Structure 1
Amino acid sequence: MNHKLHEQALDIVTASLTAVLPDRAVQRALERFTPGPGRTLLVAAGKAAWQMAHAAVAVLGRVDGGLVVTKYGHVRGSIPGVVCCEAGHPVPDENGFAATERALELVRNLTADDTVLFLLSGGGSALLEKPLLPAAELQDITRQLLASGADIVEINCIRKRLSGVKGGRFAQACAPAQVYSIILSDIVGDPLDMIASGPAYPDSSTCAQARAIAARYGLRLSPLARELLDRETPKTLDNVTTRVTGSVRELCAAAAAQCRTLGYETVLLTDCLNCEAREAGRFLASVLRTHAGSGRRLAFVAGGETVVHLTGNGLGGRNQELALGAAVGLQGLENAAVFSVGSDGTDGPTDAAGGYVDGSTLQALRQKGLDPVTVLRQNDAYHALRAVDGLLITGPTGTNVNDVAVALLDE
């Protein structure tokens, strides 16, 4: 391993994540918040829900009741006046269903004088859920979608039609109270109706689109599920104000700034990355190979959200697959590295935020009897990278604004 590049990768990751922590972002959004004369309630959902709620209560001083539902291991302590719940992600579970019922009970029978401060971040699609069909079937459909290679917009187009809170239905449940929604975006382009499946935003997708997605990926659906795909979602909401605060653009800008601080000429390739994870890795490796021998210290930054098409039963996430996908292309480049992390600190169903490879990784894998092509076919990037000290582990970060990948050439 190139220890210098590895240490620089850790520096870049730390600086990037620090820049997009939700505390300041929530504070900025609350500068325009004026609650009504009645009660002020707080509901937060997503991987960054605890951090967002903690910051909001610190600004407001108190709320008249609240609920947080976030991923297992993401609650960091108590918040005055707020019940904190943990639940399953990316597949919803009974704890998430129960927490959602508590949230709906909290906002039931509100008046026009009441206000719901709704804090939303990525992961909310799984964590805030009221199934309109048997829970086991919803979980099965979620697994099918996650394994299909569908992108997050396609996945959420289906999920919001199978839910009693997605696609604007949570805001409907709060009416006539006003909903002030603060969103930490984890989807490229910040489509408000798709972030966490848009519980408090009018749905722009159509039943025809949902049916086409189901057909495109060959989803196995019951008659009830197919009927739900034909039920239209709310297209207008008159009780919601929305503020987006924090996105992948800020994550990429912070990564690029730290690369420059370390002395690299830096190029932001895109903050709209959307392709197969391993192909993104191969592309970044090819960019470094093109410039190898130039005598320049170069950094290339790419942010967004790649996808993984499951063909095996291994363990990993899209950032680990991206990194491992770059390993072959970096072979022999002693001063080159590619790394990728998810800003929430948990890449797929693992304890790693992402992965790191450099010009020595392929040889190290082969010495362990591991072939990257076979590993990727098995979707087992986690175990392969762990074997060569290539995992990047941050722990839960308290934020979630998508992923960032960096390619470094240190000549």
Structure 2
Amino acid sequence: MKDERSFIWPTLLFGCALGHFLFLRYRVTENPAALYPWDVAWYRDIIENGYRFDGYLFRNQNVAFMPLYPSIAAFLKTLLKIQNTSIAMTAASSLLTYGTCLLFYRTVAFLHGRRVALSAVALFLAFPYSFFLFCGYAEPAFTLCAMLFFHALLVSRRLWMAATLASLSVLAKQIGIVLIGLYLLFLLHGFCKDFSKKQSLGNNPWLQTFIKTFPTLWAGLAVWTLYLYIRFDDPLLFNNILVSWTLTTSPMSLNPTAVFHSLSNMVSSLIIAVQYRTNSVNFAYLLALGSFFCILWATIRKMNLYFVLYALLLFAFNVCFRPNTMNPDLGRYMLLNFSFFISVPFVLDTLSGRKKYVYWTGLAFIVIFFMKYQQDFIELFYHSQWVS
């Protein structure tokens, strides 16, 4: 359809978001060193000097960072002969984010129409934590892989490509394991539907697809296991998850008591956030609470099932691997929750009584609200005061 292929609006939204980020960054960075806060400095080190490892697992080293994003930035720096690493990182992040926006728009337009697609892209780019898409983090590499994955899985139905992209996403961020799980759920759903028709196993196309794509999926799982080994010094960590349902040296143990403790801490943090709202972490918890209700409502309004499952898998991943109740990374993981950005238009559509001017006014208010907080968080981030 012609409407689904229109790139004009997402391009304009992307241009505004990039211009807003560059303006704010120029305003808050007073010296060149401020351009490389937090993990940006680690990625810069990888781009300029490559990976280095001295064999000591308990010392912070750049091998803990996945290679996809720094590889893309280093390639672009060499190809275009860019001398300044900060410019190369911003250029790589911008290209990856632009590709994400185009695919996000096209995928959601195919599933839910242009209005939902345009609203979702606008919310994605205006999100308070969206500056991570431009500042030199690995988020844009993952978001592009994720959107290519969803497009291959739900629009073009190229399952071999979806499996490849799910495995490739693990090279961007460890959370890519969620896409592998979602792909397996997609195959399982199709397999169960055909199995109910009493089709023989040998002729089942979903089982055949799984067998064909298994090596690719296993490669992604192997990369993820290697990451856990480097990060947590446990070569059998992934095996422990599958066999004994216990994480031996990970941030938490996956037993019922620990999971309940993590969830109760999240609830108490939400109460603190509602009362004080003093920093980026508390605000992230408020957004997490709001996203839960938005996604729940959108599920009732028949948002695509696999975006709902994606949100659930993200939540499970964060409970298992990011249980720290005051973790500043929560906002970054909220940025990866595409389901939230898709769900908000469903809520607005209901609240507006399907009146267009009320809908767009409500959306504009949310975008302005988000951008105000984005400005505050950029100042915190580049002055290395991200938590407080």
Higher strand share: 1
The answer to which structure, 1 or 2, has the higher relative contact order (CA under 8 A, 6+ apart) is 2
